[in-house]
Structures are given as C-alpha cells and as structure tokens.
C-alpha cells in the first residue's frame, strides 16, 4: 500500500474556497488568514502542476480540473468527519458520555424509562439529552452532534438507520370553549372543515394530519402554522383552531379543562416512534448498549 501524497489540509482549503467562491470567506470558515489559505491552494496546484481556480472579473470559478476534484474532495471531507466521529465516540464512551436527541413531543414519554433502565446497566455513563423538533435532531445527527435520536417517524434518507420502538396515539384537541369541546360523536368530515393549527414543514404530526385530509379528500383550512407542538399548545389555548397532537404535550391543560380531546367518529390515529442513528459510522459502546436495551425493552410491545 502506497503512502498518500496529497495534503489533506490543502485539499480541505480547496473545498472551502470552491464552496464559498472566495478566499477570504473560506479563510473565515477555516479560522485561518487569507494568505494562509492562498498558500495552501498554491501548494496543491504546484504539487500536481494544475490550476484549480480561474478569475473571471470579480468571480472565482473552478477550472475543469477543479470541477473534477470537487466532488472527490467533498467525499473525502465527509469521510474524514466520520472518522473523527468514530474516534471521538469511542473516546467519549470511555469517559462515559452518551449524546441523545429527542423530539420535544415524546421526550417525556420515553426518555425517563429508557434512561433509568440504561443507568442500571451502565451506571458510569453520563447521558446528555437535547430536545428539539425532529428535523433539527436529524440534522444534528448528520453533523455528528448526537449519537442517537428518539423521534416520531419522518421520511429519512438511506444514510440513517431507523428502528420502530413503539406507536404513540394522537388526539384531536381544541380549547375548552370551542363549539366542539363538549359535542359527542363528531363526524370526521365535519371536523376537517374546521380551522386547523398544524406544525411546520418536516414534522411528523404535520404529515399525519395532512394524510387524514388527503384520505377524506378535503382541502384543509389552516388557521396557523406553528414551529413546534409547544407553540401549537399556546394557539390552542388561545382558541385559534383544532390540532392533532400528542396528549402528553397538553396533559396539564387537559386535566384542568383548558383543552379538550374531541370525540371524533374515526379510527384512532397513531404515529410510530423510532430510534435513529447514522448508518455509516459504527456506534460507540455506550450508544450500542443504549440501542440494544431500547430495542429489547420495546420489542414485546411492538410485535
């Protein structure tokens, strides 16, 4: 096996300049001076006797060689980050750190149980939990900022592995003062013609409620779009419409009568809950242990 002749730092400098189309912007991204980035590009060009960039007026453009090298540099950068992630994960697992991401809507339903079970088996492992919208959690996994995530089922690219661990029942909810709050046996077609509050793009609950509208061939009347389910709860309390939501998110408000679960004549609506991680890099021992415990804990419930 031959030694690699190319300098990885120089190649990364090329990648950032190509993406930013600017030596100065690339230098800022790399926390280097502009002359340092320029030197790296010149070294790379001199080493292989090629030109990677050409200037056309104020614009910086790739040469034909640069265009061919760019996707390879992107792939090498991605693989380098994956190697860093694997090594860091194993280092952190020896320190006892596991980084979890969880959707706010279901965090309180699943995490306390799983963390308690995991802590019994791995008492020296510290768990760091970040809650947020599902699409942000997925993005953080892509950036190697989380080892694992527990989120409602959403469309995922092949670079992720997803295991369904359970299903969560959702309910149609409105304010206690809504005309339907105390009505019995509401036909679904009638309900769907009311103003709705839905979550933003990329949300599992948004997909679920829009699928119901599609099934009944009714165009939704959307009164408001909310960033997350906490915001939906505030709009519900303000009487802005009806929402399909996880009951756990509004448990206190339901108990106080501020919000009501509507009595709809329809089959129950469920959303799968999944454990998600990147397909490429190997899981650290702590992440692997959490995955195995999670799948075994919920296996009997999802068979």
pLDDT band at 96 (very low <50, low <70, confident <90, very high): low
Total tally of structural domains belonging to the chain: 3
Q: 58 with 200, same domain? A: no
Q: Determine, yes or no, domain membership for 244.
A: yes
Could you read off the pLDDT of 234-277 as tens digits, one per residue? 999 999 999 999 888 888 999 999 999 999 988 888 889 999 99
- Residue 302: what pLDDT? 47
Q: 251 with 278, same domain? A: no
Q: Determine, yes or no, domain membership for 130.
A: yes
Using the 3D structure, point to which of 63, 82, 101 is the last residue of a domain. Answer: 82
217 DSSP assignment:
T
Of residues 95 and 229, more confidently modeled: 229
Q: Determine, yes or no, domain membership for 2.
A: no
What distance in Å separates the CA atoms of residue 293 and residue 157, rounded to the nearest whole number? 25
Domain extent for 238: 167-269
* DSSP secondary structure letters along 147-188: SEEEEE-----TTEEEEEEEEEEEEEEEETTSTTTT-SSEEH
Residue 299 has pLDDT above 70, yes or no: no
Q: Determine, yes or no, domain membership for 3.
A: no
Percentage of the chain beyond pLDDT 90 is 44
Over 57-126, what HEC string results?
A: CCEEEECHHHHHHHHHHHHHHHHHHHHHHHHHHHHHHHHCEEEEEEEHHHHHHHHHHHHHHHHHHCCCCE
pTM, whole model, 2 decimals? 0.63
Q: 281 with 150, same domain? A: yes
Q: 241 with 153, same domain? A: no
- The answer to whether 151 and 103 have CB atoms below 8 angstroms apart is yes
Tell me the backbone φ, ψ of residue 83, rounded to 5 degrees: -60, -45
Using the 3D structure, point to which of 64, 82, 100 is the last residue of a domain. Answer: 82
Q: 77 with 192, same domain? A: no
- Give the domain CATH number at 160: 3.40.190.10
Closest among 144, 153, 97, 117 to 269, alpha carbons compared: 153
- Residue 208: what pLDDT? 87
- Give the domain CATH number at 69: 1.10.10.10
Q: Determine, yes or no, domain membership for 188.
A: yes
- Residue 161: what pLDDT? 94
- The answer to whether 147 and 100 have CB atoms below 8 angstroms apart is yes
Q: Determine, yes or no, domain membership for 61.
A: yes
Q: 281 with 138, same domain? A: yes
Most confidently modeled range among 134-143, 184-193, 266-275? 184-193
Q: 191 with 246, same domain? A: yes
Using the 3D structure, point to which of 82, 107, 127 is the last residue of a domain. Answer: 82
Q: Determine, yes or no, domain membership for 114.
A: yes
Could you read off the pLDDT of 146-163 as tens digits, one per residue? 889 999 988 899 989 999
Could you read off the pLDDT of 1-23 as tens digits, one per residue? 667 788 889 999 999 999 998 99
- Residue 62: what pLDDT? 93
Closest among 271, 273, 105, 134 to 203, alpha carbons compared: 134
The number of helix segments (H) and strand segments (E) in the chain equals 11, 13
Q: 145 with 186, same domain? A: no
- Residue 56: what pLDDT? 76
* Cα Rg of the chain (Å, integer): 25
Q: 33 with 149, same domain? A: no
Retrieve residue 77's tokens: 């950068």
Q: 282 with 148, same domain? A: yes
pLDDT band at 213 (very low <50, low <70, confident <90, very high): very high
Q: 252 with 179, same domain? A: yes
Residue 285 has pLDDT above 90, yes or no: no
Beta-sheet pairing, 53-56 with 59-62 = antiparallel
Could you read off the pLDDT of 49-63 as tens digits, one per residue? 999 998 877 788 999
Q: 172 with 260, same domain? A: yes
Q: Which residues contact 280 (CB under 8 A, 6 or more apart)?
A: 82, 159
Q: Which residues contact 303 (CB under 8 A, 6 or more apart)?
A: none
Residue 89 has pLDDT above 60, yes or no: no
Q: Determine, yes or no, domain membership for 276.
A: yes
Considering the chain, what is the average pLDDT of its residues? 86
């Amino acid at each position: 096996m031959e030694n690699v002749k190319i300098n990885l730092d120089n190649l990364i400098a090329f990648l950032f300049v190509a993406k930013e189309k600017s030596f100065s912007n690339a230098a800022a991204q790399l926390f280097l001076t502009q002359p340092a980035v320029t030197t790296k590009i010149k070294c790379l060009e001199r080493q292989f006797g090629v030109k990677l960039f050409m200037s056309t007026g104020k614009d910086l453009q790739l040469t034909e060689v640069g265009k061919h090298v760019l996707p390879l540099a992107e792939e090498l950068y991605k693989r380098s980050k994956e190697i860093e992630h694997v090594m860091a994960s194993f280092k952190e697992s020896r320190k006892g750190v596991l980084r979890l991401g969880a959707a706010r809507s279901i965090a309180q339903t699943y995490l306390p149980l799983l963390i308690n079970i995991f802590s019994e088996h791995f008492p020296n492992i510290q768990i760091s939990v970040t809650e947020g919208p599902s699409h942000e959690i997925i993005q953080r996994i892509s950036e190697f900022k989380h080892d694992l995530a527990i989120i409602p089922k959403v469309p995922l690219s092949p670079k992720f592995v997803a295991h369904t661990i359970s299903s969560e029942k959702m309910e149609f909810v409105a304010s206690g003062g809504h005309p339907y709050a105390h009505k019995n046996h509401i036909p679904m077609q009638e309900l769907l013609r009311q103003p709705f509050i839905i979550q933003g793009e990329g949300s599992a609950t948004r997909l679920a409620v829009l699928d119901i509208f599609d099934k009944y061939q009714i165009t939704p009347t959307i009164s408001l779009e909310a960033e997350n389910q906490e915001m939906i709860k505030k709009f519900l309390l303000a009487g802005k419409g009806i929402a399909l939501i996880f009951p756990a998110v509004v448990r206190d408000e339901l108990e106080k009568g501020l919000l009501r679960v509507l009595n709809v004549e329809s089959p129950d609506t469920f959303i799968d809950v999944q454990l998600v991680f990147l397909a490429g890099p190997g899981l650290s021992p702590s992440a692997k242990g959490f995955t195995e415990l999670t799948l075994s804990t919920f296996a009997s419930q999802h068979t």
